[in-house]
């Protein structure tokens, strides 16, 4: 191993250790360490002239465009309006209300973003809990699960899927066809499991009447913006489905959709800049750069070769990779793990191993994301919200006690589904 390769491994290891144990400015540290690899010329091709080839611009553009569209939907009051309508529809049938809310969570996560879903839905969950005088813990724990399960269903539903899609080449439609059914099955199973945690008494039933007094129209801050944003969003989703036929990149579609709303409702991009998660974009860029460096020094290929002896035993290989995703994602965070393991899968599939390996990783990684607060940014945000609401620390082990059984249920469903894909 060359001196450059050793130095790259030290820098990348430092970045990942900071992702796990660092307290603040993780995107800044990761991106800066990636720039150090570039500045020291430790690998060929990692320079400013080639950044657009190293960093997946299509993924970053897609994220940016969707962030803009989400910003206008949120500003218009659409999410609050729709949630209140669902609450009033459920009435005293509390489990029906929760079911409808979780459907909103899953759909929002599938077509918008995991983090945005938590930011929008968490305040509504706490509002409902306060008015009904019930603990918000079961509802928030369920919301995190449904956020990650819903996000698993589409290419744009989670940053993890964006990484897998960019490296594998699978389209928006591929993800919906392969990941949609297993996400629906996991959604139903986890919801039914949580039913026992969502029982309410007579006092709570009486408090539900308070919710029926809420006026959903007061949640709308700009009706014109809401209508335009909804139409824009629906058109963008339709174009996502048709993007392979149209031969237009997802980033172009999303950025165009966002730009139309910027033109209609603001004076320019500067007005919407504060609604874009720049930390996430730079975090992704830094991770793509470190992943490229690992590939260039042969680290990714060495990992791939460790699995070659299992190439004739497809089921065993899938189970091993499933377990690896379940172990690494909750500890290391979903995106960093994906940027290490996805290139390995690309090598293995390129050598003739079943493409089901891609979906094995996608299912295991997405469902295991909920297991610990470290699994994804949205988990941490939800826990922070919860601690402020209940006025105490909500620890790592307490979190896991709520998640281990429903996550296990979803993973068993995922494993059975993988077996189905392999043999059908």
DSSP letters of 42-83?
A: -STT-SGGGHHHHTTHHHHHHHHHHHHHHHHHHHHTHHHHHH
Tokens of 238: 């339709």
Same domain for 292 and 326, yes or no, is: no
Same domain, 290 and 358: no
Please report the pLDDT score of residue 420 as a whole number: 92
CA 169 to chain centre: 18
CA distances from 328 to 16, 31, 71, 99, 341 (A): 12, 21, 32, 31, 10
Using an 8 Å Cβ cutoff, are 93 and 107 in contact? no
- Cα(348)–Cα(352) distance, integer angstroms: 7
Q: Is 199 within a domain?
A: yes
Is residue 219 one of the residues assigned to a domain?
no
Same domain, yes or no, for 290 and 381?
no
C-alpha angle with apex 53: 47 to 59, nearest 5 degrees?
Answer: 125
pLDDT > 70 in the chain, percent: 99
Are 358 and 349 within 8 A, CB to CB? yes
Residues 368 and 400 in one domain: yes
Q: 313 with 290, same domain?
A: no
pLDDT of residue 227 exceeding 90: yes
Domain membership flag for residue 247: no
Same domain, 153 and 202: yes
231, 262, 297: which is the final residue of a domain? 297
339 confidence band (pLDDT: 50, 70, 90): confident
Whether pLDDT at 83 is above 80: no
Residue-level pLDDT at 131:
74
From residue 91, give the alpha-carbon distance in Å to each of 16, 101, 131, 297, 394.
47, 13, 13, 60, 30
Other CB atoms within 10 Å distance of the CB of residue 335: 23
Regarding whether 420 and 340 lie in a shared domain, the answer is: yes
| Domain contains 113 | no
- State whether 369 and 287 are in the same domain: no
Q: Is 224 within a domain?
A: no
Tally of structural domains, the chain: 2
Same domain, 337 and 289: no
pLDDT in tens, 368-377: 999 998 788 7
The reported pLDDT for the residue numbered 147 is 95
Q: What mean pLDDT do residues 159-179 have? A: 91
Domain match, 402 and 293 both:
no
371 belongs to a structural domain: yes
Closest by alpha carbon to 210, among 127, 302, 104? 127
pLDDT digits (tens, 9 = 90+) for 238-283: 998 888 788 898 889 999 999 999 999 999 999 999 888 888 789 8
Look at residue 315 and tell me whether its pLDDT is greater than 90: no
- On whether both 377 and 412 belong to a single domain, the answer is yes
- Domain of 287 in residue numbering reads as 1-53+279-297
Domain boundary among 268, 297, 326: 297
DSSP 270-286: GGTGGGS-HHHHHHHHH
Decide if 263 is inside a domain. no
Q: Verify that 385 and 340 share a domain, yes or no.
A: yes
235 part of a folded domain:
no
């Amino acid at each position: 191993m060359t001196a450059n390769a050793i130095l790259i491994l030290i820098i990348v290891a430092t970045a990942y250790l900071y992702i796990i144990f660092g307290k603040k400015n993780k995107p800044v540290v990761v991106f800066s360490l990636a720039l150090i690899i570039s500045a020291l010329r430790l690998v060929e091709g990692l320079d400013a002239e080639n950044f657009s080839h190293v960093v997946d611009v299509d993924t970053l553009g897609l994220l940016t465009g969707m962030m803009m569209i989400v910003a206008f939907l949120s500003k218009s009051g659409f999410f609050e309006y729709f949630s209140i309508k669902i609450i009033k529809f459920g009435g005293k049938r509390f489990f029906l209300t929760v079911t409808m809310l979780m459907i909103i969570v899953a759909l929002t996560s599938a077509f918008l973003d995991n983090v945005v879903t938590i930011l929008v839905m968490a305040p509504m969950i706490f509002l409902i809990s306060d008015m009904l005088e019930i603990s918000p813990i079961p509802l928030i724990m369920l919301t995190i699960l449904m956020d990650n399960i819903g996000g698993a269903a589409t290419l744009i539903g989670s940053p993890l899927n964006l990484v897998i899609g960019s490296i594998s080449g699978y389209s928006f439609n591929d993800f919906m066809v392969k990941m949609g059914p297993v996400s629906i099955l996991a959604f139903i199973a986890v919801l039914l499991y949580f039913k026992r945690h969502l029982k309410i008494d007579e006092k709570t039933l009486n408090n539900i009447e308070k919710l029926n007094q809420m006026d959903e129209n007061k949640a709308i801050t700009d009706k014109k913006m809401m209508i335009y944003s909804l139409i824009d969003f629906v058109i963008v989703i339709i174009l996502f489905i048709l993007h392979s036929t149209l031969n237009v990149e997802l980033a172009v579609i999303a950025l165009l959709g966002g730009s139309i709303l910027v033109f209609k409702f603001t004076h320019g991009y500067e007005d919407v800049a504060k609604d874009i998660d720049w930390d996430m974009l730079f975090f992704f860029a830094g991770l793509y750069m470190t992943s490229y460096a690992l590939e260039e020094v042969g680290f990714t290929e060495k990992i791939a070769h460790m699995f070659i002896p299992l190439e004739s035993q497809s089921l065993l290989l899938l189970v091993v990779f499933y377990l690896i995703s379940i172990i690494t994602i909750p500890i290391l965070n979903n995106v960093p793990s994906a940027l290490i393991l996805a290139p390995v899968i690309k090598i293995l599939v390129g050598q003739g191993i079943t493409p089901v390996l891609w979906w094995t990783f996608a299912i295991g990684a997405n469902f295991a994301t909920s297991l610990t607060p470290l699994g994804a940014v949205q988990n941490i945000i939800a826990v922070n919200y919860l601690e402020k609401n209940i006025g105490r620390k909500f620890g790592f082990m307490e979190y896991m006690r709520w998640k281990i059984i429903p996550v296990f249920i979803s993973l068993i469903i995922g494993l059975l589904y993988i077996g189905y894909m392999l043999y059908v």
